[in-house]
Structure 1
Amino acid sequence: MAQLHIYLCCGGGLSSGFLAQKARAAAKKSKIDVTVEAKSESEVTQYLQKMDILCIGPHYEFRLKAFQELAEPYQIPVIVIPEEIYSMLDGKALLELVLQELKIEKD
């Protein structure tokens, strides 16, 4: 499996930064080659070409369609991070959700 590029988005990138850190640790433990970065909403468009998937915070669910429209030309899926994953900073669950969404089997 080629390296995966996962981007998380919340308002300022702070809370998603903690979740990204946990997801990186889970990926390392599972020996999955992944880059997980947290960006603010204003930065998302700068990184669309590098993403394999965009995960937005649950508080941005109302903006899902707008994010999907931004990502559509790049054929990037956009998902809302479930509240239970986001609030618990469950990096392992986030990683599993992303792999499931992208239909990637863990080795």
Structure 2
Amino acid sequence: MKTVNIMLCCGAGMSSGFLAQKTRKAAKKRGIGGSIEARSESEISQYLDSIDILLLGPHYASFKEEMTEQAKPFNVTVDVIPQDIYGMLDGDGLLDFALAKLEA
């Protein structure tokens, strides 16, 4: 079974929480283990040692460079969730996006 640990980041973790829930369901259907969680920006540093990829809400795109620097020592990939995936709360789309970024 493939495993992946994904962290979603937005302001309060609310909208990304719904997206994380849908992404967990998509991963379960595909037999992918690991964790898919949503946290607020202020909590991210506590989790960098236990995730594979950090995905920022589109409204946090300006933090990508800063977060990438923070995540570098932990070999964590950082990217911004595409607006269409975020807006539609597309769990399958987000899982595809994350897996593609990890394979790149």
**CA distance in structure 1 between the partners assigned to 2:100 and 2:78 by the alignment:** 13
| Greater displacement, 76-85 / 24-33 | 24-33
Q: What is the letter of the counterpart of residue 90 of structure 1?
A: D
How large is the RMSD of aligned CA atoms in angstroms? 1.2
SS at match of 1:39: strand
Deviations 1:31-67 (A, max 9, x none): 1113100000000000000010000000011111011
1:2, CA displacement in angstroms?
A: 4.6
3-state secondary structure, aligned to 1:78: strand
TM-score (norm 2): 0.95
The alignment covers a number of residue pairs equal to: 104
What is the rounded CA distance, in whole Å, between the counterparts of 1:23 and 1:97 in structure 2? 11
Task: State the match for 1:103 in structure 2.
Answer: 103
- Counterpart contact for 1:24–1:34, Cα < 8 Å: no
Q: State how far apart, in whole Å, the 2-side matches of 1:87 and 1:24 are.
A: 17
Question: For residues 13-92 of structure 1, what are the structure 2 equivalents within 5 Å?
Answer: 13-92=13-92
Any unmatched runs of 5+ in structure 2? none
Provide the TM-score with structure 1 as the length reference: 0.93
Runs of 4+ in 1 over 4 A off after TM superposition: none
**Structure 1 unaligned spans of 5+:** none
Aligned equivalent of 1:3: 3
